Amino acid sequence: MATPLVQPVTREIQIGETTYHVTMHPDRVAIRQKGRRSSVEIPWTELLAFEQRMHATVAPAGPMEGKPKAPSRGLLNEIAQQLRVATAMLATADDTLTQAGALPAALMAQAAADPRHGPVEYEAHWFVEPLLTLTEVASILRVTPRTVQRLGLRTVRIGGEDRFQQSVIREYLRQQVVPESRYSR
């Protein structure tokens, strides 16, 4: 199962001595030389029809006045190759994430850009883990809430209240493991 392209994906490719940034949008591909602002944009339909046009007999055209310069065939071939590699890599990543149970593909597709806050930025911890209240942490550790406050655990402030990440609690517990020899008799 492939992951739908719902927001732009940018990759860098090297062609000879020149580096290009290729941005795949849901409706087009944009190519620009690294360090430059202007780019060449190619709709997906045009890119997919490229092979058919390449083999078709083309009558020589007159001078192209006022039209943007089309990218060379070599560049388009390199981009097509990079797109095939990127598609394969995205499919592999999607399969791995789905098998790991990190985030279902259907939910990933819904994480599109927010019109008010802009695009979603994924980081190493791109999923949101449940946050625990002081009382919940005290219950899990079987101590009083005051004892939890004294532990000095990192918190996240939400709506004026402190919340604890489950990963922080797990790490604290790992650090508190007592060697077996201490209580063995």
> The tokens of 61 are what?
């055209």
**DSSP letters for 91-112:** HHHHHHHHHHTSS-HHHHHH--
Distance CA(126)–CA(114), nearest Å, equals 16
pLDDT digits (tens, 9 = 90+) for 35-85: 888 888 888 787 777 766 676 655 555 555 556 677 788 888 888 888 888
Higher pLDDT, 16 or 56: 16
pLDDT digits (tens, 9 = 90+) for 100-155: 655 554 555 555 555 555 555 555 555 667 889 999 999 989 999 999 999 999 99
Distance CA(178)–CA(159), nearest Å, equals 36
Q: Are 41 and 28 in contact (CB under 8 A)?
A: yes
Q: Are 21 and 96 in contact (CB under 8 A)?
A: no
